[in-house]
Amino acid sequence: MGVVKEENERLKLLLCQIVKDYQSLHTRFLDVLKKEEANKSTTTPMVGSHEENNEEHHQLISLSLGRSSSNDPPKKQEKRSSKEDDDDDGKHGNDGGGGLELGLECKFEPDGSIEPEKNNNPSCESSLGKPEEEEKEPTEVWPPSKILKSLKNGDEDVSEPMQLKKTRVSMNDGCQWRKYGQKIAKGNPCPRAYYRCTLSPTCPVRKQVQRCSDDMSILITTYEGNHNHPLPLSATAMASTTSAAASMLHSQSSASQPALPTSLSAPTASLSTSTTHLHALSFNFSQNPTPSHHYHFPNSSISTLNSHPTVTLDLTAPAPPHNNNPSYFSRFSNLPTYSSSSSSSSSSSSCLNWKKTSSHLTFGGPLNNYPAIRQSPPYMQITNHQALSETLTAAATKAITSNPSFCSALAAALTSFVGNNGGGGGTASELGFASSSYLQGKKPSSMVNPHQQQKQGSLLLFPPSNTASDPPAD
DNA sequence: CGTTTTTGACCAGCGC
DNA sequence: GCGCTGGTCAAAAACG
């Protein structure tokens, strides 16, 4: 039904355009007739001149169609013929040379579909299509083979064959992963991919990658387990950044709701990313009835408003002069699962849904326990927000500036983590987070604006290190 | 030829 | 018990 509706909408738009085109042509035709009448009244009617006028007439009409004859929909020619039924001597001799153009912009493919390179990314604008024709394509699963196929059909990617050939996944989060399964999950037409960490044969870390159903340019990554081996530097850098963020979230949540572990609602992370710049990151903690704490990384935020902690990384908009005003973030707070940046430039959003297992939320993260770092208890107690914010700022800045993927990507995410019990002292067997990351070289360009192809990146949230966490307060 | 991805099958947990 | 769903396995295919 969705597909049919969309097709219907497209046809409606097309019909509107054709009608408009027809009216325009009709007006021009009347003008031509008037001119012709005027000429007739001032010159002696002769056969030769009549033919000449006819020829001119045909030419004008033909030019006014403004479309190549080969692609003209039959309807148009019919219209023209009906207009010229008084001299139907077969004149399809439109020389098609320059002249007036009332082109519809959209090309008709042999199969009847509208050509403008459809872009599944709602935030992308086709440079060919009319804005009103840019409707969301139905969500669709994009296996690599299909992606490649679709890319081959397009012409915009011819200049980037390297990207097309690359089908293997390379998760740029500092670890190496091997895909071991794929499944269509309920509620999301995009398949969920399952990866194992291959840095160590015995590493139990798993991660799941799935496209956001709302914006398929966004990938949602969920980690589970703990690495039993050293992490690469790149992963460590991100870990230091994201663990701090996670710590803050967790701290806030646990501090305010120590006895209600399961009441920590699945946080929603939304992030906007730009194609080239990561502007900043900001953390806004507001919890009733306590005053809000706001940590500012320009244009981005992580907030734990009430029961819906939200992480927002707006990497597109320039930093407002004083965006530590909570209202700046209000648009992102309390969003159910998804929020979109209002960025006028290319942007996309992601929603990260927390996975809830049993009675506790889990997110896993590429946790690194090795060699001596033990997984932190489910609750981290952070008492000095100011100090932490500074640490976080430094860590984030360092990680962001040192890792190009941050700059090119978007993506990112969030989270929360959680313990599996509220009373503290639980088994703490699960700790994690979700984040957005990207599939390098696997991103179907048919789904993104070419200008956005560099936007994907990753922001990984790692569990806090021992230095940033304490045992549960209670 | 070794590694990785794909994909159908299998299994377990859960709700009805 | 049955069906649905999510996670994993493993053989085949694809890739480099």
Which pLDDT score, from 0 to 100, does residue A387 have?
Answer: 39
pLDDT band for A179, please (50, 70, 90 cuts): confident
Rounded to whole angstroms, the Cα distance separating A246 from A464 reads: 7
Distance from residue A358 (CA) to nucleotide B12 (C1'), in Å? 14
Which pLDDT score, from 0 to 100, does residue A251 have?
Answer: 53
pLDDT band for A248, please (50, 70, 90 cuts): low
Q: Compute the average pLDDT of residues A279-293.
A: 33
Evaluate if residue A242 carries a pLDDT over 70: no
Distance from residue A182 (CA) to nucleotide B6 (C1'), in Å? 9
Q: From the alpha carbon of A177, which nucleotide's C1' atom is closest?
A: B4
pLDDT more than 70, % of chain A:
21
Q: Compute the average pLDDT of residues A435-440.
A: 35
Mean pLDDT, rounded, of chain A = 46
Which pLDDT score, from 0 to 100, does residue A467 have?
Answer: 32
Distance from residue A206 (CA) to nucleotide C11 (C1'), in Å? 22
Which pLDDT score, from 0 to 100, does residue A42 have?
Answer: 60
Which pLDDT score, from 0 to 100, does residue A383 have?
Answer: 30
Q: Which fold has domain A177-243?
A: N-terminal domain of TfIIb (2.20.25)
Which pLDDT score, from 0 to 100, does residue A421 have?
Answer: 36
CA angle A324/A327/A328 to nearest 5° reads 60
Q: What are the structural domain ranges in chain A?
A: 1-35, 177-243
**Residue A43 CB lies within 7 Å of the nucleic strand C:** no
Q: Compute the average pLDDT of residues A364-374.
A: 37
pLDDT band for A280, please (50, 70, 90 cuts): very low
The pTM of the full predicted model, rounded to 2 decimals, is: 0.37
Could you check whether the bond before residue A298 is cis, i.e. omega within 30 degrees of 0?
no
Q: From the alpha carbon of A165, which nucleotide's C1' atom is closest?
A: C15
- With CA atoms as reference, report the closest residue to A50 among A86, A94, A99, A80: A86
CA angle A400/A403/A405 to nearest 5° reads 100
Distance from residue A180 (CA) to nucleotide C13 (C1'), in Å? 15
- With CA atoms as reference, report the closest residue to A191 among A208, A166, A172, A214: A208
Distance from residue A183 (CA) to nucleotide C8 (C1'), in Å? 11
Q: From the alpha carbon of A224, which nucleotide's C1' atom is closest?
A: C7
Which pLDDT score, from 0 to 100, does residue A12 have?
Answer: 83
Give A355-368 pLDDT, tens digit per residue: 333 333 333 343 44
Amino acid, single-letter form, for residue A11:
L
pLDDT more than 90, % of chain A:
0
